[in-house]
Structure 1
Amino acid sequence: MLNIGDFAKHGRVSVRMLRHYDAIGLLRPARVDPVSGYRCYRAAQLARLNRVIALKDLGFTLQQVRAVLDEEVDAVELRGMLRLRRAELAAAMAADAQRLSRVEARLRTIESEGTMSTHDVVVKRVPSVRAAELTGVAASYEPQDIGPVIGPLFEELCGRLAAAGIDGTGPSVARYEDTGEGDGSVLIRVAVPIAAPVDPAGEHGFAVVDLPAVEEAATVVHRGSMDGALGSFQALARFIEENGYRSTGYARELYLECPDDPAGWVTELQEPVTRG
């Protein structure tokens, strides 16, 4: 038998915590001295303590922990539950990291207000190009809605191109348009330029389209993750207004360089414009 102090030491918890677990029926002592009231535990009870702490650290309430343990979930089932919860927490952390990146981009944009822009905007013609294309729908044009759709679309398109034995011939492109549903949803078109002889009617699992030329596009090069592209998009807006242009649609994104680390991405934003 281990007294409560030794049991707490071996379990890396506090005595106060063990007393609380006893009070709520989560981890009862193996023996309580009827005279002194001292609690004693068996070393085998460390296994239950380990489960309690692991489940609590993964976000389960103590009531949920007790329900799980009292159902006598075996080690295999418990391991599966913990892995699932770990995956949920990892996804939440990734989402928080993306949210933080967007907040930092917004702060940088705010901090740069009133200063001279470092973005070089160029108006030019964007030629037509034949491309393999897939489409998807995002709930809105906000980054948290675009990201989960556009990434898998590009992965799927590249996989289908590889399966068809077709090589891309230039930087990939993303373009956007309203779905017309009136709910703010956006149609996303992802495309990879391909050689012209590919049969548009072939069974490739993707569309073969001619991306239309843009006669006038205000363009700017953005460096880094698209989560931080807010400043570049707003630089386009200021240029368009200050130089007598009017936007005629969403900006295309031409991915010039896409290494594994998004911090090294180089993307040209191409917003269609017209005079007036």
Structure 2
Amino acid sequence: MWRIGQLARMAGVSERTLRHYDKIGLLVPAAVDRTTGYRWYGVAELSRLERIRGLQRLGLPLRQIAELLDAPEAQVRQALTEIVATIRRDITTLAATAAHAEDHLAVPMSILPQQAAVDSRRLRVRRMRLDHPGELAAVCPAPPAALLTWLRGEPTGGFAAAVTTDGAGEQLFLPARTVVRAVVPPSAGVVRAGQDLFGWLHRHRLEVTGPTVEEHLIDDDGAHAIVLEVTVNPRRCTRAARHGEGGVVAALTDPAVLHDDDPVGPADGAEPVGDQDAGGARAQLLQPVAAAVPVRGRQVRLTAWAAHLAKRSWLDERHREDPGRTRAADAGR
């Protein structure tokens, strides 16, 4: 028989960990001296401890280990399968987050774009054809109002537009769709924010599939805000991305790549609509560009692989961590 300190040294754990296991009923001593309160452990407890630590290294939490410690192997394998699926989902989420952060560090922007699913909406609009973006300021009514344009980037010629009206006007239906939206900071201005937003879309391989909505909002105190909202399909890459690494590098370093010869949008007189296939796309995570691109004199690789390795290292470290460091100390010995 071994005392708690001896078992701790043999298994490479802390005495506090063993006290915690005893407290939650995961590893009870073979005997406890009624006079001194010392815990005594035998071979059976050592074997049980090794199994606990082994399952913990495989990613199982203590609560689940308690349920599986004496369970059949098939039940343990099923639990591990679920753990692996959860870890992979976490890796995917963290990889997308890392790609967005890398992009923001590599290419300073005035906005923080967010992808979201929005419901359908009906608008009363007045259509028009404009020759230059400078004409937009003159046609946009006072807030609250919305300005819609059908562009893939900075226009190089005429383009379709529409503004909302209070009453009379043509009815426009925007179906439920996936959008990328951003609030325009007062210090940036809508022109710069729009350029930053379309550059972000190209770098993240999101194809514009509907109108850009420029929403002018005002609250009861008279504060004014502008929200940009671009309809996208995350499952289809832009033409620049389809060109491969050259197209991606151009999207990151050359604003001219935003000029496209075949803009997505309605032909003259056609009904503008939003993303027709947004339902399945809502669950899609943004995929980072798989290319090393030069940005401001350094190489930035927007891939999920580095985030994957970092996540795996973090998980390994967490499973090796001594659970006794948590707030679960037992006052007894």
The alignment's TM-score, normalised by the length of structure 2, stands at 0.37
| Larger RCO (CA under 8 A, 6+ residues apart) | 2
The alignment's TM-score, normalised by the length of structure 1, stands at 0.44
